[in-house]
Amino acid sequence: MDGLRSKIASLVRIIVLAAAGAAAATAALLFLSVAAFLWLQQRYDSIVACLALGAGYFLLMLLAFLAVYARSKQETATKPATRGEEESPFVASMVSGFRKLGTKKALASKWVPRAQSRRGRKVS
């Protein structure tokens, strides 16, 4: 029981420190953004400063997305396929049906069965 309590206490301590670190990093990014904006505003113009910071944050987001995508692609390439990730026969039959009918016919409303009420009448 003491081992479990010490593990929980250390986990809570780590979570609190991680939250404090995230808050400090957010505050630092905010102050650096304001400083960069003021410097760019004095040097160029307000519109140029906004566009430059927006482009910088967009590039930062794009780099983070590409890093996460590359990591997930690497993990899926090295991980063997499990039973849940294989294509099921139902999905395979649906895909072949779409290929045979064509997308327009497969999605047309006359091919989709209508819902029926409790009395057996078709609901429009």
- Round to whole Å and give the CA distance between 97 and 99: 5
Question: Is 85's pLDDT higher than 60?
Answer: no
* 3-state SS assignment for residue 122: strand
Q: CA torsion sign, 116 to 105 to 103 to 98?
A: positive
What is the mean pLDDT of the segment spanning 48-55?
A: 92
Rounded Cα distance between 101 and 103, Å, is: 7
**CB–CB of 80/72 below 8 Å?**
no
Confidence class of residue 17 from pLDDT cuts 50, 70 and 90? very high
